[in-house]
Structure 1
Amino acid sequence: MNNQLKWERIQGIVLDAVGTLIEPTPSVAVAYTQAAARQGVRLDVEEVRGRFKAAFRSDLVEGEAGFLSTDEQVERRRWREIVALVLPEVPDPVRAFDELWDHFGRPESWRAFPDAAPAVEAIREAGMKVCIGSNFDSRLHKVVAGLPELADAVEVIVVSSEVGYRKPHAAFFEAVCGRLGLPADRVLSVGDDLENDIQGAHRAGLAALFLSRDGDSGGLPSVAELTAVAALRAAEV
């Protein structure tokens, strides 16, 4: 696998959403802890954080098309299972799921990273197409539309539940390239998840750039902030 980033070929960029452009506020762990508290269950935030990480990485819910396949109903089942695993103590798990599903579908439950809007603007000014590509569901459209930093900046949003497959499946990246109207080798994937955004993109023929806000890139082509993406291109082309 050739991980060398050839900027002169890049004409479009797909940016991951959660952890790259946006983050939940309050954090996922706090939101889950608050949902439990509303049912009289007091939990430690750090314990909930650990449970969520384990549940999120190990879920096995998939659609009828097999591994990594999804749709809107699959995503609801997947998140219902995650909530049950993270909050087994709550007396009414259906209520907890409904509250959290609604919570994370509201724009006010999210914030754009400070570098998100400047990065998107710089990418567009550099003459490259840009889209958001996320393992999410249809709620993401409302979330992005409600964040002024992104609402008018990114017109194309590719969501796994609408594609039918979640990252890192090649079909997801094929859909991204189709929406951008570019071949895979002309598209750069930028995100904070090594498997979903980097390795999956490489396997599908895209270039990839790891967003490592803590500076730990593992030797991969990386940036510590999104505004460095367009700056790197300007410096290397």
Structure 2
Amino acid sequence: MSLIGVACLAVVMMTAGWLWQWRHRNIGIVDVLWALGVGCAALLIAWRGEGALTPRILLALMGGLWGLRLAVHLWRRVRSEPEDGRYRQLREHWRGGQGRIFGFFLLQAGLVVLFALPFVAVAANPRDGFSVWSLAAVLVWLGSVGGEALADAQLARFRRDPAHHGKTCRSGLWRYSRHPNYFFEWLHWFSYLLLAVGSPRWWLAISGPVVMYVFLRWLSGIPHTEKQALRTRGEDYREYQRVTPMLFPWFPKDGARSSSEKNP
């Protein structure tokens, strides 16, 4: 079964990542390996799938390219910056206990398998040919992955300027959402739901956007990111919270100032 192969691959990758972080003292590598692992899962499941060729090719291209882009983006951050404050807090909370850190890495391996479930639905789709659902999936994928890449690039450019240290990015997409990268990441999972239309296992694809929203909104995404932002940026970030929508992009509240006005 493809998921068994995905699980084995994820465990090997996360074990190697745990050894890497032990040497470099940077748990952030786990995010790189999660994205890469899910991308590899799309390739493996598309290859081993029993459905029609067209949805499997689209799955391999869309899932693989998404995972590669995100992994490369995260790796650039991990290799050039100190350990993310969220993970530094976690390391301190566990007093550097490598057993607990290894357990955390294994948990991420399990999440790779969980997020591979929509791929199983797509790879079992018997409908061949490029349909209106395929077109919709490609358009959603292009818009969401492109939006996430743009948000990541805007934030990276802001962070590279030393004058912005300790300040909050309010330019570009970050003016309309406190987490536009998370929004587009969540939106991206609807691509596989659309690709799974007609599959006998289509219901598995629902898990993508549902589980991703739960993780981003209440578990590992927004709560931890915002706690860290409040620790490092204080009142500046509280003001940003007051005027800027949390996840779904919308216009900021009256009185909100632009990045250039707020961060001269």
Taking structure 2 as the reference length, what is the TM-score of the superposition?
0.28
More strand by share: 1
Q: Which has the larger radius of gyration?
A: 2
Taking structure 1 as the reference length, what is the TM-score of the superposition?
0.31
